[in-house]
Structure 1
């Protein structure tokens, strides 16, 4: 297999442990048939399949450029899984999520990243800001950092709000070349002083072949639900990201301008 091709395992969910009520989509801690715990992202919740696609693409791009992301797996929910769940809201969610979902390895004991308590170096901060400008991730703010400290290392989670163009995809090509104005609210922007330096190295990693290999992970069923045809979905995401990569200099300028306004 091509060494650029990421591999995702598929697990069967065997036990619902507890909901995580921090978000509106009610992700949950579950146990799978490999005896590991995972944070399960439900296809039947919130923005549905498109949020799972964003989680998949955003997480694997982050991993490709050397950032820490919990292992992402495909997770199958059996039709009988929710029958014994007493909470009606959760039972409905489980029923609506039968089939293939997405899950991330649960980092037991991890704590939420707090920029007041933990400072990270400029290079790492710049890589994360660069990533979020690329994938249009609006959900890495002081209010909700979506980063965890685990064994004194920074881990990225929750990329489901990325690639938001796909919720109104008619003008996806126009969206692909727009600046990312939401960078002004990024929690790490004050420390992202090395954006120009990291840009060259990250572009060399995210080659067209690597982007294609990540996008190819989208299951046919998800692509069909998102855009009608699986191959069309993959083509749209691939070209959206390729266009974003072609304008990183503009994205950097937008971030630098916003950073100057802060400091």
Structure 2
């Protein structure tokens, strides 16, 4: 796997249809490379921080060898959406001019149903480990945020991760916290190889690889409030948070094992 991940930039050419699941109102859109994408808007309620979490979380998952749809930066022109009749969508498009984030649209994919498909222990353990690292509260039985596409499991929607960035001052404290919400993780009952997976994941997610992933975040997404911190300082905090959390992974692995035993 490459040490230095890359991310393409595309221009959105056609708004196809909104996806009304959840509050952020993502959409299926077509880009100038001819592909269809699920477009996540910077002007949505969760704002740019959700896009940063989506990008970092998705690329960390990919670095671990997990399947994630390709992520691209999606440029939205000022003229885009002027003919959109829906006022709510038009406002969203106007507020999202510039760089947004999009995931390659997996046509024909179905939502993962834990009652129908069982995931083998190693893969389940990898995903639980990832979500403990990222503090992902959004992989529950009610909302798995996983798809089955071409008979393989794909991870989507990492925008609800890294919530330390809503309170920058406490990032060191947050980095060392167990992830108690793991008790609600949809794959926790199958995650019986956390110790083995922990050692492998720590080896793969070197500080250099983490910094390379964080470097993918566009400067303009980090420049929302320069009075609070500079772009470079914010980028450094994301990297330091993840590097610290990986180095202290025994804390969240122990919490996950404890939560798993309670389920038995």
Q: TM-score, normalising length from structure 1?
A: 0.98
- Give the deviation of 1:3 after TM superposition: 3.6
Asked whether the 8 Å contact 2:124–2:187 carries over to 1, the reply is: yes
The structure 1 segments of at least 4 consecutive aligned residues displaced by more than 4 Å after TM superposition are none
Counterpart for residue 85 of structure 1: 84
> After superposition, what is the alpha-carbon deviation per residue over 1:67-101, rounded to whole angstroms, capped at 9, x for unaligned?
00000000000111110100000000000000000
- How many correspondences in the alignment? 262
CA RMSD of aligned residues (A): 1.1
Distance 1:37 1:184 in 2: 35
- Give the deviation of 1:223 after TM superposition: 1.1
Aligned positions of 1:1-263 closer than 5 A: 3-225=2-224, 228-263=229-264
The answer for unaligned runs of 5 or more in structure 2 is: none
> After superposition, what is the alpha-carbon deviation per residue over 1:38-88, rounded to whole angstroms, capped at 9, x for unaligned?
000000002211000000000000000000000000000011111010000
- Give the deviation of 1:221 after TM superposition: 0.7
Asked whether the 8 Å contact 2:137–2:181 carries over to 1, the reply is: yes
Distance 2:81 2:166 in 1: 28
Distance 1:46 1:147 in 2: 22
- Give the deviation of 1:165 after TM superposition: 0.8
- Give the deviation of 1:172 after TM superposition: 1.2
The answer for unaligned runs of 5 or more in structure 1 is: none
- Give the deviation of 1:233 after TM superposition: 1.1
Secondary structure, counterpart of 1:166 in structure 2: helix
> After superposition, what is the alpha-carbon deviation per residue over 1:8-66, rounded to whole angstroms, capped at 9, x for unaligned?
00000000000111110000000000110000000000221100000000000000000
Distance 1:197 1:228 in 2: 38
